[in-house]
A = this chain, B = another copy of it.
């Protein structure tokens, strides 16, 4: 089969034989880079050689199933496990093939506000992660997974996108030259996130510390990153509560390293899942699919 993880800003395709990846393609042609109605042609071209070699089963996950994607794949409500996800695939006409899209998941937070994910469910399944799982990114997901691998619920935190917006659009960014990551400044930001006061107040401190030469301009971005990730981690990590202080991280090596650092600083422990979680998840869901 062929597995495709098609997100907002990236396209990754895997040729999968006996649950193992035998070939792969990656490009920056995320759904935002493809013209409307251009998905079919792009896919046919990208995986043409594999189709020519006889592959007919294709499973896609990620934002390709969103309203801005190829065909909208309805959200499946949590709790959801691999079997129920494999039952809820959306078929897409694609001449000569059986092409399906993995549903995103929806849920509600503790007071009923809706929550959505697309693509992360496939990574979680592929990693075999349980307990508290965090997928850091522009919109980080904090997911509760039962011991049997069922996704019970999750919440989204916008720290990544907010970091970028603060840097681009506010007075904080005007004092932030491009500079290499500074672990000491990052740690100071994480520590600050545990002090009294609201995040909206802590943010002004980035500027005030700079005004009084207590934070160098080239340290500011790392400090701000630590401040935001620290607030995020503290909202979900509850050291002392049994089983709630360990986090499984799924994401880029760089982001996972930052989150590990912050989680340890806040009294928790972290492990990082496998790099190919999306491919493994597509293979697993595919193995439970009744293909035509």
Per DSSP, chain A at the interface is helix
Cβ proximity bits A218-233 to B, threshold 8 Å, 1 near / 0 not: 0000000000100110
CB atoms of B165 and A170 under 8 A apart: yes
Interface size class of A (residues with CB under 8 A): 35 or more
Q: Which residues of B contact A290 (CB under 8 A)?
A: none
A residues 150-195 in Cβ contact with B at 8 Å: 155-159, 161-162, 164-166, 168-171, 192, 195
* Known interface pairs A164-B169, A165-B166; A200-B114 also in contact (CB < 8 Å): no
Tell me how many chains of this kind the complex includes.
Answer: 2
Q: Which residues of B contact A208 (CB under 8 A)?
A: 113-116, 156
A199 at the binding interface (Cβ < 8 Å): yes
CB atoms of A200 and B159 under 8 A apart: yes
A275 at the binding interface (Cβ < 8 Å): no
CB atoms of A162 and B111 under 8 A apart: no
Cβ proximity bits A253-288 to B, threshold 8 Å, 1 near / 0 not: 000000000000000000000000000000000000
Residues of A within 8 A of B (CB): 109-111, 113-116, 139, 155-159, 161-162, 164-166, 168-171, 192, 195-201, 203-205, 208-209, 211-212, 214, 228, 231-232, 235
CA distance A159 to B200 in the complex (A): 6
- What are 26 A-B contacts with C-beta separation under 8 Å? A109-B201, A110-B196, A111-B195, A114-B208, A114-B211, A114-B212, A115-B204, A116-B211, A155-B204, A156-B201, A156-B204, A157-B198, A158-B170, A158-B201, A158-B204, A161-B170, A162-B170, A164-B169, A165-B169, A165-B170, A168-B169, A169-B169, A198-B232, A199-B199, A200-B228, A201-B235
